Amino acid sequence: GEGGGGEGGETGDEPDAVETFSIVTTEPNDLVADLHHRMAVILDPDAGEEETWLHGGPDEAAALLDPYPSDDLTAHPVSTRVNSPSVDAPDLIEPVASD
């Protein structure tokens, strides 16, 4: 499955142009399922998936929408500071003690 969301805004170069993006989602793998009912689609550049996504046909792109393997990901608790859009610091991804 797929879904998405995004933001857009006028660019400075062309007043009628709008830059947007989407986050394509899929069902979660086992690791993410405990946290949320969706997860972002993750492409494996070593497997050529970025190239396929950008230059392949629709059927090839659709084949990349499976959840990324849980074994290739790690998860740990992080600070609740990540919830504030005004905070942008490298330590936000550092593990913290879980409650």
pLDDT in tens, 37-75: 999 999 999 999 999 999 999 999 999 999 999 999 999
Say if residue 1's pLDDT is above 50: no
Nearest C-alpha neighbor of 31 from the set 5, 58, 64, 70: 70
pLDDT at 10: 55
pLDDT at 91: 95
- Taking the C-alpha atoms of residue 24 and residue 75, their distance in angstroms, rounded to an integer, is 20
* C-beta separation of 17 from 11 below 8 A: yes
Exposure class string for 15-53: b at 16+ Cβ within 10 A, else e: eeeeeeeeebbbebbebbeeeeebbebbbeeeeebeeee
pLDDT at 9: 59
Residue-averaged pLDDT of the chain? 89
